[in-house]
Amino acid sequence: MAYENIRLDTEGAIAVLTIDRPKALNALNTQTFLEMESALLLLPSQVRVLIVTGGGDKAFVAGADIAEMATIGSAQAREFSALGHRVMHLLERLTIPTIAAVNGFALGGGCELALACDLIYASEKAKLGLPETGLGVIPGFGGTQRLARTVGKMRAKELIFTGERLDAAKAREIGLVLEVLPADQLLAHCKTVAGKLIKNGPMALSQAKRVIELGADQDLRTANELESQAFGVLFGSEDQKEGMKAFLEKRPAVFSGR
C-alpha cells in the first residue's frame, strides 16, 4: 500500500516503520496516525520485530502537528486524542517486539510514540520530553501514563510540569532510553538488537511481552499466575520442543512460530 507520510520497509523478519514528514519534523497529524494504523494492522506475517524511526536527520517525531491542532475545539481535540491513543495502543499490543530508534527530536507525541514501543534507543543528538504544558495543554496520547510507568511517578510529574527537554544522556540516566549511540550507528544498532530477538522463539517472545505488560497492572500473586499459565501454554508448542531439542543437540534452534 502506498503512503504519503510514512514508509514501511521489510528486510526478512525485520520491518522498519519510518514517520516521513521531514519538512514538518515528522509531526503527527490525523493522516499520519491513520496511515500508521493501517500499516500496523497490515504488517506482513513474516515480520517478527518492528523498528520505528523518523525520516530525515533532525527528528524522530517532533510532536503532534500544532498547525492542525491550533484551531480545533474540545470535541475535535477529544477525537484527535482518541485516535492517537488507538494507534499507540495498537503499537503497544502488537504480539511482536517493537524498538524505537530515536534519531532526533522526540517531543510531545514523539516521546509518547517512543514510550509505546518495547525498547528505546537514542542517538547522541536526540532530545526527549513532554512540553505540552507550555502550550496550555497536557500530553494526549498516553504520555502521562506511560512515562510514569517508565521513569516513576515523581520524575514524570517533574518532566510534565516543567516541560523540560532532556538530552539523550540524561534520558538514559533516568531510564527513559536504554542506550545512546552515535547518530550514524543508531539504526544499525537497533537492527542488531532485532537480529538477536528473531533468533528466539516467536511464541515465547509474544508471551513474555504479554505477561510483562498485563502483569505490570496486577498484584504480584495475580501477575505470577499469568506467568505460570503462559509458561504452561508454551510447553504445548512445537517451538518449545524444537528449542529444547536443539539445546540438547548443541545446535541453533529453527523456530516455526507454532
Domains of the chain: 6-197 (3.90.226.10), 202-248 (1.10.12.10)
Residue 141 confidence (pLDDT): 98
Whether the CB-CB separation of 59 and 101 falls below 8 Å is answered with no
Q: For the CA atoms of the chain, what is the radius of gyration? A: 19
Which residues are catalytic, by number?
Answer: 112, 132
What is the distance between the alpha carbons of residues 101 and 65, in angstroms, rounded to a whole number?
20
How far is C-alpha 59 from the geometric centre of its chain's CA atoms? 16
The residue type at 98: T
What mean pLDDT comes out for the span 166-187? 98
Above pLDDT 70, what percent of the chain?
100
Q: Is the pLDDT of residue 2 over 90?
A: no
Q: pTM for the whole thing? A: 0.95
pLDDT at 210: 96
Structure confidence at residue 130 (pLDDT): 98
Question: For residue 196, what pLDDT is reported?
Answer: 97
Helix residue spans in the chain (DSSP H): 30-41, 66-69, 74-92, 109-115, 143-151, 153-162, 168-173, 186-197, 202-215, 220-234, 238-248
On the question of pLDDT at 253 being above 80, the answer is: yes
CB 142 within 8 A of CB 85: yes
At 47 the pLDDT is: 97
What is the mean pLDDT of the segment spanning 22-41?
Answer: 97
Band the pLDDT of 1: cuts 50, 70, 90.
confident
